[in-house]
Amino acid sequence: MPPPTDRGADGTTDGAPDDTPHATTDGNTAYGKKPFKRSKSHFADRITADGRDGWPVEAGRYRLVVSRACPWASRAVISRRLLGLENAISLALTDPIQDDRSWRFTLEPDGRDPVLGIHFLSEAYDAREKDYPGGVSVPAVVDVPSGQLVTNDYQQITLDFATEWQALHRPGAPDLYPEPLREEIDVVMAGVYRDVNNGVYRAGFATGQGDYEAAFHDLFRRLDLLSVRLSDRRYLVGDTLTEADIRLFTTLVRFDAVYHGHFKCNQFKLAEDPVLWAYAKDLYQTPGFGDTVDFHHIKQHYYRVHTGINPTGIVPLGPDLSGWLTPHYRDELGGRPFGDGTPPGPVPTAEEVPPSGRPEPAPTGF
């Protein structure tokens, strides 16, 4: 197998050493170090009910390409499942380890995605725009008939699943972006994005002490605030699951397995904050959340791909994951997870996370 390439969170060289003097977030000047900056998604076309960008909502037309390792892609996997879009939008899973051609379909027996017929996700990017100036990233939505990438705009994909794909939602699908709560959801998500979702990357890929410390403090300050917010309410906004919970979950579920050690986000472990730990377990045990999580893919990706921060590529054996299956008691706070709707049914067999990626219950008795 070709060796994994060392790459940043988004395949760019952001965060990589550079010789230009620049101001760090702690106000000092650093030489040879730049703070981590996430690149913008290059392809921001939207798939909408009215097809205004040329991409109308249509069952069976699009393929969602993800890595189960990636928190941004995992949002899309969770929302697709909660909304029951599995039959409308098919799912392609990449190998958690990229090589120098980026995401590849080496989990398939012949190394080729069976629907798109390609070996590398970059082929769908190339079909859309030859030599575009950016990295290849997941999540990506590909138009099956033309083989072209439609969008890699991870911030918009899930919002569109919730609001533009309504005609194809399953009966009983929750409203993940309810109109009356959008303003509050957007405010909560902005803080979660800056300090938590992207904050762990700012800490992990910092190449200067000051940048790392600023990201670390922002992250744990925000986690403290979220812990207080969630101490007497089951979900982040309103009394049902929303897009905001999906976005917080995808970082929390990776926290102890990768961010705490690998990204040096170690003021406390998730499991040491009783509120956030119970909140994360509650979501994990809710159909549509934990049943999409592959801890094996997550650990393989982070520890083996980021050789700049883990040069040996050794993947730690811990932590013990059995705690994810223990009681959370969050139902005592009330809340109606799916509002007037219902939980999604079982995961389609072809999309089940293999046992290697799931926690095993702790042994009982002696």
Ligand X SMILES: N[C@@H](CCC(=O)N[C@@H](CS)C(=O)NCC(=O)O)C(=O)O
> Per CB under 6 A, which of residues 74..133 are in contact with ligand X?
98, 102
Does residue 292 belong to the site contacting ligand X (CB under 6 A)?
no
Question: What is the C-alpha to C-alpha distance for residues 336 and 359, in angstroms, rounded to an integer?
Answer: 26
Rule CB under 6 A: choose which of 79, 90, 137, 250 binds ligand X. 137
Rule CB under 6 A: choose which of 154, 263, 284, 338 binds ligand X. 154
Longest alpha-carbon distance in the chain? 63
Question: What is the C-alpha to C-alpha distance for residues 295 and 292, in angstroms, rounded to an integer?
Answer: 10
Does residue 240 belong to the site contacting ligand X (CB under 6 A)?
no
* Three-state DSSP state, 102: strand
- Shortest distance, position 149 Cβ to ligand X, whole Å: 11
Rule CB under 6 A: choose which of 10, 164, 195, 256 binds ligand X. 10
Pairing state between β 148-151 and 140-143: antiparallel
- Could you tell me which stretch among 5-13, 142-150, 230-238, 323-331 binds ligand X (CB under 6 A)? 5-13
**Which member of 62, 70, 125, 279 is catalytic?**
70
- Could you tell me which stretch among 33-41, 52-60, 246-254, 341-349 binds ligand X (CB under 6 A)? 33-41
Does residue 135 belong to the site contacting ligand X (CB under 6 A)?
yes
Does residue 70 belong to the site contacting ligand X (CB under 6 A)?
yes
Kindly state the tokens that stand for 38.
Answer: 């996430």
How many helices (DSSP H) and strands (DSSP E) are in the chain? 9, 6
Rule CB under 6 A: choose which of 24, 25, 41, 250 binds ligand X. 41
Q: Shortest CA distance to 263 belongs to which of 204, 211, 201, 199?
A: 204
Are 350 and 299 contacting, i.e. CB atoms less than 8 angstroms apart?
Answer: no
Catalytic annotation present for 265: no
Question: What is the C-alpha to C-alpha distance for residues 197 and 160, in angstroms, rounded to an integer?
Answer: 20
Rule CB under 6 A: choose which of 72, 277, 284, 295 binds ligand X. 72
- Shortest distance, position 67 Cβ to ligand X, whole Å: 6
Question: What is the C-alpha to C-alpha distance for residues 248 and 190, in angstroms, rounded to an integer?
Answer: 11
Tell me which residues are annotated as active site. 70, 201
